[in-house]
């Protein structure tokens, strides 16, 4: 005799329904932690920087004087320092990064491509402080020797004297901007150099991955039209990959804006107006690193935190902008 086949009940078994709910609750809780940390950070930054913002208002971010002795705090100089170092490092590192990505993805034979790619990624694993030490002990002396060589020429000394008069009156010209104002190699230029190396792996590894992901039929279509390898790269591969590469650039920019220790070690910690590429400067992050420990006075401490708040919003703004740009550049509607 055949047992009739009983249909499965339409309601789910109570046990699985309960474990589903439990899991859902767990995931929700874990996800909320991230949001909570974000909200708390903003809240805490806002609360701690409130005294400074109440004292100076939003002109805290547009005022150029930063003088802990007289209790005057304005972040404009650090804001400029942050943008100048980051953007200059970006301009220097992006061509290098894209070139290395193209080498690894398109030119190098496999036995060479993988080790080189790995080494480039390894650059990202080197601690900041090691970069800082390397810059101080290896790069700075090289720059310092060049600077001393510069002053060996009497004509350059005369130029320096002229520029120094300008600098002392708080001004500079394009020519004077490139005249060294120091002899030890430390300063804005060294910070830019070290940032360039530090952010290189971010753009390079993202660029390499997106270049590898360009479909074979895009390359073949260009080859079949009678293109050389370089024409395939410049007309088919790079345009197709540009949104992804830009994603890597933005990642690098975020890294450069926030990079603290290495920059703090080499930039010369000057809160004056940037007058020379070779002179001292400071970024928002470097001032936080260099001054937070010494900031005993309440307004000073609060101003340092307000720098952090500004840096936070700067990063958020950059990321938001990046998303908009990337969305516009991404190829759409490929069949």
Partner 1 sequence: MSTPLLSAQNVSIYYGDKQAVRDVNLTVQRGTVNALIGPSGCGKTTFLRAINRMHDLTPGARVTGRIVLDGEDVYGPGVDPVTMRRRVGMVFQKPNPFPTMSVFDNVVSGLKLAGVRDRARLMDVAERSLRGAALWDEVKDRLKTPATGLSGGQQQRLCIARALAVEPELLLMDEPTSALDPASTARIEDLMTGLKQVTTILIVTHNMHQAARVSDTTSFFLNGDLVEHGATDQVFTSPRDERTEAYVTGRFG
Contact status: 7 vs partner 1 (CB under 8 A): no
Residue 234 as a binder of partner 1 (CB under 8 A): the answer is no
Interface with partner 1, residue 230, by CB under 8 A? no
User: What 8-state DSSP symbol labels residue 244?
Assistant: H
Q: How far is the CB of 6 from partner 1 (least distance, A)?
A: 45
CB of 330 to partner 1, least distance (A): 9
207 near partner 1, rule: CB under 8 A: no
Q: How far is the CB of 248 from partner 1 (least distance, A)?
A: 18
- Dist. CA 136–CA 194, nearest whole Å: 10
Residues 6 or more apart whose CB falls under 8 angstroms from that of 140 comprise: 184, 185, 186, 190, 266
By CB under 8 A, is residue 226 in contact with partner 1? yes
**35: DSSP letter:** H
Does 104 bind partner 1 (CB under 8 A)? Our answer is no
User: Which of 64, 162, 212, 242 lies at the binding interface for partner 1 (CB under 8 A)?
Assistant: 242
Helices (H), 123-267: 128-134, 140-151, 154-168, 174-177, 188-212, 216-224, 229-232, 238-258, 261-266
Smallest gap from residue 103 Cβ to partner 1 (A): 17
> Using the rule CB under 8 A, which residue among 194, 236, 257, 266 binds partner 1?
236
The least distance separating partner 1 from the CB of residue 222, rounded to whole angstroms, comes to 8
The Cα 329–Cα 249 span in angstroms is 14
Q: Judge contact between 64 and 273, C-beta under 8 A.
A: yes
Return the number of the residue (115 or 331) whose C-beta is nearest partner 1. 331
- Contact between 227 and partner 1 per CB under 8 A: yes
Assigned token pair, 290: 């260099």
Q: Work out whether 14 is an interface residue with partner 1 (CB under 8 A).
A: no
Q: DSSP string covering 79-138, please?
A: HHHHHHHHHHHHHHHHHHHHHHHHIIIIIS-HHHHHHHHHHHHHGGGS-HHHHHHHIIII
Which among 122-130, 213-221, 263-271, 296-304 is the span making contact with partner 1, rule CB under 8 A?
A: 213-221
* Residue 210 lies near partner 1 (rule: CB under 8 A): no
Alpha-carbon 258 to chain mean position: 6
Question: Taking CB under 8 A as the rule, does residue 228 contact partner 1?
Answer: yes
Residue in the block written with tokens 């002179």: 279
- Supply the minimum distance, in Å, between the C-beta of residue 335 and partner 1: 4
221 counts as binding partner 1 under rule CB under 8 A: yes
Question: Which residues of this chain interact with partner 1, rule CB under 8 A?
Answer: 215, 217-228, 231, 235-236, 239-240, 242, 331-335
């Amino acid at each position: 005799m055949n047992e009739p086949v009983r249909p499965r009940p339409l309601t789910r078994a109570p046990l699985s329904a309960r474990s589903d709910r439990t899991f859902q609750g767990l995931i929700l809780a874990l996800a909320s932690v991230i949001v909570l940390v974000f909200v708390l950070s903003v809240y805490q930054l806002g609360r701690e920087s409130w005294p400074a913002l109440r004292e100076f208002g939003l002109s805290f971010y547009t005022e150029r004087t930063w003088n802990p002795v007289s209790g005057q705090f304005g972040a404009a100089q650090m804001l400029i320092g942050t943008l100048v170092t980051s953007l200059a490092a970006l301009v220097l590192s992006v061509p290098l990064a894209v070139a290395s990505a193209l080498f690894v993805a398109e030119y190098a034979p496999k036995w060479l491509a993988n080790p080189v790619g790995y080494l480039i990624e390894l650059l990202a694993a080197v601690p900041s402080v090691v970069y800082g030490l390397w810059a101080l002990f290896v790069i700075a002396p090289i720059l310092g020797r060049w600077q001393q060589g510069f002053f060996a020429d009497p004509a350059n000394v005369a130029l320096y004297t002229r520029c120094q008069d300008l600098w002392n009156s708080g001004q500079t010209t394009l020519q004077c901007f490139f005249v060294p104002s120091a002899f030890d190699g430390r300063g804005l230029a060294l910070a830019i150099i070290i940032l360039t190396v530090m952010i290189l792996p971010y753009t390079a590894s993202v660029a390499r991955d997106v270049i590898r992901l360009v479909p074979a039929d895009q390359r073949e279509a260009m080859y079949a039209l009678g293109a050389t390898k370089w024409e395939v790269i410049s007309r088919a591969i790079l345009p197709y990959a540009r949104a992804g590469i830009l994603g890597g650039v933005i990642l690098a920019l975020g890294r450069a804006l926030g990079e603290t220790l290495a920059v703090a070690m080499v930039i010369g910690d000057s809160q004056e107006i940037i007058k020379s590429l070779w002179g001292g400067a400071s970024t928002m992050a470097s001032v936080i690193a260099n001054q937070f420990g010494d900031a005993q006075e309440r307004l000073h401490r609060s101003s340092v935190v307000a720098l952090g708040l500004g840096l936070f919003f700067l990063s958020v703004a950059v990321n938001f902008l990046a998303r908009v740009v990337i969305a516009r550049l991404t190829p759409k509607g490929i069949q």
